[in-house]
Chain A
Amino acid sequence: MSHDETEFARFFEASWEPCMRAVAASTGDLLLAEDQVAEAFARAWASWRKVRRHPAPRAWVVRTALNAGASWWRRSSRELPLSDHDFAAPVSQGSGLDAVVLAALRRLPARQREVIVLRVFLDLDIETTARQLAIAPGTVRAHLSRAVTALRSELAQTTATEADSCAATTS
Chain B
Amino acid sequence: MLELSKHKIVLVIKILFIYIKSIIKSMQKTIIKLTAIIVLAVSMYACAGNKSESIEKEIILEEVTEEDMNSIEYILPSPLQIAELFKNAGLGYIGDLTNKIDKAENYNSKYDQKLNFGVYSADMAYCIMNNQTQESINYLTTLRKLSEKLWMTDILNSIGLAERLESNVGNEDSLTYIMADLQMQMDDYLDENGMGYTGSIIFTGAWIETMYLGAKVNSADQNEKLVSRISEQAVILESLIASIKQNDEDNEYVELIADLEKINKNFDGINDESNENYTLSEEEVKILSEDVSYLRMKIIGG
Partners in one complex: no
